[in-house]
Amino acid sequence: MSQELRFDGRVAIVTGAGNGLGRQHALLLASRGAKVVVNDLGGGRHGDGKSSAAADAVVEEIRAAGGEAVANYDSVENGAAIVQTALDAFGTVDIVINNAGILRDVSFQKMTQDDWDLVYRVHLKGSMSVSHAAWPIMREKGYGRIIMTTSAAGIYGNFGQANYCAAKLGILGLAHCLAEEGRSKNILVNTIAPLAASRLTETILPPEMLALLKPEYVSPLVAWLCHEDCEDTKGLFEVGAGYIGKLRWERTQGHSFNTSRAMTMDEIAGKWSKITDFTDSEHPSTTNESFGTILANLNKKSLGG
Ligand code: NAD
């Protein structure tokens, strides 16, 4: 039997680790030898209040099981303070799991600026801030693993979550860019879109479904993506209830119009079924791959084709 994958000597920051998914990620990494910074602001699920109790309880749980952990109570908006906790306690940081989150669900019609700003600040700015503070340390040591947490709501859209959807898809954009910038320094960046029972989903999903959606079914993927043996980067995975799948972009073959002049909207209408036909679709994964087809058409023009 193969040896279990471990994190001995590695230092991990898990944000929002006082509850739900983050707590489970922290427990799993610590049980496999990682030294863990358990970050949690300890507020309500709408971003109200703060308390040290949530992070402290998870640190106690880790220590009681023989693991190493310290608490941090800063908001993820203050990433530098969270990374400083890792440096003070353990001297470095190898892994950042951006997980902290809140909800302010309301239809766009009724959404206030505060609803928008707070969700943006915790999710997108928070993921940037913690990653940004850890970035120079990871670059310097030529090693890093960063996990971003998006959501099906961000990928597919969902009623009443304009703030959350925008922030969550912004996180994916951030992940894609950091994956490219980190590649040469062995900083690998992957994103999960989880589904699990937590205080964020207890009002959205029926109780019989929640009972089957344990965070324990999400954390092993996160741990694998954080492990030195995993060489994937720029990935996006949907995970929950025992299912794990990978997503990618899909683009139709499209139609290349004659480039000697701009196409008319009537010509677009005439080719609409071809433009939107996913038969023999492509899967561009970089901006170069994306531009390739467009530039090929441009070349035809410069060659007078
Ligand atoms: P949860 O409420 O159980 O845990 C989130 C934790 O983040 C809480 O402990 C909270 O105190 C902490 N937090 C909130 N704001 C913070 C801040 N500013 N700084 C530090 N900590 C803060 O929720 P969860 O379901 O475990 O969610 C974890 C992540 O997974 C979130 O990003 C959420 O959007 C995402 N997600 C969850 C699901 C799901 O099905 N549970 C689905 C899609 C995405």
Q: Residue 205: its pLDDT value, please?
A: 85
Cβ atoms within 10 Å, residue 85: 19
Closest Cα to residue 37, out of 99, 89, 91, 80? Answer: 89
**Predicted model pTM:** 0.96
**Residue 217 falls in the annotated catalytic set:** no
Is there a contact between 128 and 78 (Cβ–Cβ < 8 Å)? no
Please state, in angstroms and rounded to a whole number, the distance separating the CA atoms of residues 242 and 217: 6
Q: How far apart are the first and last CA of the chain?
A: 61
Out of 73, 120, 156, 164, which one is annotated catalytic? 164
Average of per-residue pLDDT values in the chain? 95
For a pocket test of ligand 1, which of 21, 59, 203, 213 has the largest count of ligand atoms closer than 8 A to its C-beta? 21
Cα-to-centroid distance, 99 and ligand 1 (Å): 6
Please state, in angstroms and rounded to a whole number, the distance separating the CA atoms of residues 235 and 38: 25
Tokens standing for residue 224: 């694998």
Please state, in angstroms and rounded to a whole number, the distance separating the CA atoms of residues 196 and 233: 23
Q: Which residues contact 157 (CB under 8 A, 6 or more apart)?
A: 165
Please state, in angstroms and rounded to a whole number, the distance separating the CA atoms of residues 17 and 100: 7
Closest Cα to residue 18, out of 94, 83, 73? Answer: 73
User: Which parts of the chain register pLDDT below 70?
Assistant: 1-2, 301-305
Is there a contact between 199 and 250 (Cβ–Cβ < 8 Å)? no
DSSP 64-79: HTT-EEEEE---TT-H
Cα-to-centroid distance, 22 and ligand 1 (Å): 7
Q: Residue 305: its pLDDT value, please?
A: 42
Please state, in angstroms and rounded to a whole number, the distance separating the CA atoms of residues 252 and 256: 12
191 lines ligand 1 (CB under 6 A): no
Is there a contact between 62 and 23 (Cβ–Cβ < 8 Å)? no
Residue nearest to atom 8 of ligand 1 (CA): 16
| 150 φ/ψ sector (left φ>0, alpha ψ -120 to 50, else beta) | beta
**CB-facing half-sphere around the CA of 240: CA atoms within 13 A:** 17
Is there a contact between 155 and 200 (Cβ–Cβ < 8 Å)? no
Cα-to-centroid distance, 101 and ligand 1 (Å): 3
